[in-house]
Amino acid sequence: MQACGGSSPPFRSDLTLKVFQHTRMQSIYPIELLSQTVIEKIAAGEVIERPAAVIKELVENSIDAGATSLEITVEDAGFSLIKVIDNGIGMSRRDLSKCMLRHATSKIRTVDDLFSIGTLGFRGEALGSIAAISRMSIISALQDDGEGYLLSSEGGVFAGEVIPHPHRRGTTVTVKDLFFNIPARKKFMKTHRGEHLAVIRMLEQLVVPFPSIHFTLHIDDRVIFNLPVVDRCIERIADVAGAQYASALIECRGERQHMDTVVYVSSPGRLQGRPRFQSLYVNLRRIDNDTVTYSVREAFARFLGHHHRPAFFCFLTIDPSCIDVNVHPTKQQIKFDNEREIFSFLFSTVKNGIEATMAGCKVFEKGSQPGERQATAISGEEIPDPGLVRVPIVEEKVPRTEKEGTETSDRSGRSRSADDGGRTILSFPDGRRVEKEVDPLQDTTIQLTGDVHERMWDLIPCYQIHATFILAPIKNGILLIDQHAAHERILFEQAMEKSAGIQTTSQQLLFPIVVELTPSEKGIVESGKEFFLRFGFEIADFGGRTISISAIPAFIKDGMAESIIREMVSYLLQGRGREHFSEPHKRFAAAFACGAAIKAGQKLTQEEMNTLLNNLFSTQNPYICPHGRPTLIRMSLDELSRRFLR
């Protein structure tokens, strides 16, 4: 084996060598044109990656056909059956005979049409790609006279001619045995429950900009949602995310040459730890775009700083000639003709909308005095300075009986500061301490300022920095601790003990907490009921899209239960932790630790900081959080001396 500079590359294993040799053998085959069957399978793989992608393509076709009612049926996570029934403009016998052919479409004719697309679909690839990997049939009718036509295919091969078939006006597409002829693709699919959630999540995003369409979704004989026609998008948001959630959104409107927008964004006074929705719709098409997300976050940062992430629904209508939608296989991304202008427009729209809503607040620039309000005009081409933050000061409505910063006692007798936000650092009441001590002679990483004992941090003064980090002196220097990451590590290890079968002590609630969720969020809760119960939550179905929480872990306060559940669900729904934890019980433990841990910006008392450090150094791995981030940084006295040129 030669070095890197030789003629042969270095290999780490025999397996790598075999893969390389196999690839080299394939690369010396003569160049040949691929068969039509292989071409179709490759094309289908680009467009159809999972059952949710099939449903998305079919629903978009129905919307383009002018449907006002869509009924979607899914069985066996979409692998056995997907059926979409609409009442839109149907197809004639001639059109039906061509609809499954690749690149057959009624939506564009010339190259110039690609730069003025006003429909959701346009390439003519979807039906052909779906037909190539399934057994598909389409029944369609132009009129309400009951005279329709049927076309069937199996693996992309027509199973006969177009034949008459009774059908009302509209189209019914039935897809059976998805991926039956490429079984290797199924290996890479998620569990059935995961695919169900992907379908629900996709449709929750897709239906929002179409309030004039009635959507119904059935999964395995259950009605997941039934969304009737409403007048405005905010009403459809309420149908999907909940009326309480929608009522807390701020409406921001803006208009400029060639474009206008309506943005519904979180109120600065009602933020959640992790945004439930960050949805952008350009000409009614759901897409992802970092420029838009950044513009909304920057506008929001003017009020609460950059560490907060708002939820938003952004509906942008723009001249089709100013965008290019033909840049992504699944049309999830587009290119703007002038992204800087888009950023400026959305930034100013959101900023002005929030300011108008919070007209009763005193707003001042970071670094100035509250009485010295400064007006900030954002011109059409100005990019805002990310370091400029606006902070709202809301008048205190309830007079305090204690001075700011003084300590009071809560109902359980624990000490907390009067402005600490209400949550304290507490471990599970039955959590077992790990018998682990730091030996200064063997472990030079951390040396304490006194003898090591069971409560080794009780007498060490700690200082909180920007309500985010904790500064603690040690014998040979100082420690900087990330309070959120440290508490995550503590809760994660305790939750792992509970997931092994030891149920956490719970406190029964006098009045159950009712939480309204989206269908996908409720699906996450139902799939993880066993883990929630082990962590101390007793959760029951409350009908519709709501759940009731009748018991919570003993260390959690009533007022935090809903936000913790929502953060756990959001964590799991976004797929976070999959790169670190392949086992479900570890992902749920990480979600619990992330949701229940103290947050940046939460003030802590001296007692709480000491408790946090005691619990942190009782864990098996106190140096990193469950996601691999460091919990602490050590700076030695020698390094401090060098910094000060001593």
Q: Which fold has domain 248-393?
A: Ribosomal Protein S5; domain 2 (3.30.230)
Arithmetic mean of pLDDT, 549-575: 84
* Banded model confidence at residue 134, pLDDT cuts 50, 70, 90: very high
Domain boundaries defined on the chain: 38-227, 248-393, 417-635
- Is residue 531 within 8 Å of residue 569, measured between CB atoms? no
Correct CATH for 38-227 of 2.70.150.10, 3.30.930.10, 3.10.400.10, 3.30.565.10:
3.30.565.10
Selected residue with higher pLDDT from 247 and 378: 247
Separation CA 241–CA 276 (nearest Å): 9
Residue 626's nearest CA partner among 572, 586, 599, 584 is 586
Order the strands of the 546-553 sheet from edge to edge.
506-516, 546-553, 538-541
Partners of residue 416 on adjacent β-strands = 408
Interval 325-345: pLDDT, tens: 877 766 778 888 888 999 999
CATH level 2 (architecture), domain 417-635: 2-Layer Sandwich (3.30)
Confidence (pLDDT) at 33:
74
Highest mean pLDDT among 34-38, 118-122, 223-227: 223-227
Confidence (pLDDT) at 357:
85
Amino acid (1-letter code) at residue 138: I
Confidence (pLDDT) at 431:
36
- 207: Cα separation from own chain's centroid: 17
Q: Where are the beta strands (DSSP E) in 380-534?
A: 390-393, 407-409, 415-417, 463-465, 469-474, 477-482, 506-516
Confidence (pLDDT) at 457:
60
